């Protein structure tokens, strides 16, 4: 991810929304979590949660896995580490 400014900005925008940040934090703490549980925790509509999850997945920070009728989400640790490294190299000269 080094010097990939577009990817850096995309991830930063994904985390800039308070609800998305809280969802990301919940996923990070749980390890892997089904969409249903995220909906129950945040008390917002399933379509709203799905939108936030889509943004997080498209940013690369979150991975989705389908198991039957259930969708499970987990943090993409490699992408998160790459994000930290990119921030460090872009900001701390």
Domain span including residue 16: 5-91
Classify strands 70-75 and 32-34 as parallel, antiparallel or unpaired.
antiparallel
CATH of residue 74's domain is 1.10.10.10
| pLDDT computed for residue 6 by the predictor | 85
CA distance 15 to 55: 9
pLDDT in tens, the chain (93 residues): 445 788 888 999 999 999 999 999 999 999 999 998 998 898 889 899 999 999 999 999 999 999 988 999 999 999 999 889 888 887 776
Q: How many domains does the chain have?
A: 1
| pLDDT computed for residue 2 by the predictor | 46
DSSP conformational letter for 43: T
pTM of the model: 0.86
């Amino acid at each position: 991810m080094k010097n990939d400014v577009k990817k850096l900005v995309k991830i930063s925008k994904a985390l800039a929304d308070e609800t998305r940040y809280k969802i990301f934090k919940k996923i990070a703490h749980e390890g892997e979590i089904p969409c249903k549980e995220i909906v129950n925790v945040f008390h917002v509509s399933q379509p709203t949660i799905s939108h936030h999850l889509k943004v997080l997945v498209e940013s690369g920070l979150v991975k989705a896995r389908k198991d039957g009728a259930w969708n499970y989400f987990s943090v993409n640790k490699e992408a998160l580490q790459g994000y930290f490294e990119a921030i460090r190299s872009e900001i701390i000269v």
